[in-house]
Structure 1
């Protein structure tokens, strides 16, 4: 499972120039990354990130940080997209798959045509 690092932590640190901690680990990723593949196990973490983003957007609007509101809204949209990807994957996993078998009526007709050719 890939732990999803909160984009807020990195965004706020970059804005305030206070980030002096270690660089993000290889397994951590921003939800806005286009190559991030999420599994169904990450859904609780994504929901937690979404709730945090709503709180951060409210704080940024209250403080008048319009640039932060825009960036946080982009992250919120990406988080919603990731959650919808998980939902779509679950729906596909639980839906029946057509293997292309022809109906019985077509099989009987083909068998009769094959008998006529061999006789």
Structure 2
């Protein structure tokens, strides 16, 4: 699976909004086949956004303080 660049999150949200608007337009014009195809694209874009958010949440590193190493005396 290809990983999505987190810097493109804003663009992905714009795509989702655009698809939503296009679905409304298609339904209002009676283009049911077009609306259905756009719905598939909207679902895929939404899944990508969800996957991106989950990946970012998992990748946040937590730093653990392990202290300073102790040297043993021979």
TM-score band by shorter chain is 0.7 to 0.9
Aligned length: 63
Task: Please give the per-residue CA displacement for 1:20-69, whole angstroms capped at 9, x wherever unaligned.
Answer: xxxxxxxxxxxxxxx54312111000000000001000000000001101
1:38 aligns with 2:4: yes
Q: TM-score by structure 1 length? A: 0.49
Q: TM-score by structure 2 length? A: 0.77
Larger Rg: 1
Task: Please give the per-residue CA displacement for 1:87-118, whole angstroms capped at 9, x wherever unaligned.
Answer: 0111111255xxxxxxxxxxxxxxxxxxxxxx
Unmatched tracts of structure 1, length 5 or more = 1-34, 97-119
If asked which structure has higher relative contact order (CA below 8 Å, sep 6+), I would say: 2
Runs of 4+ deviating beyond 4 Å:
none
- Show the counterpart of 2:50: 84
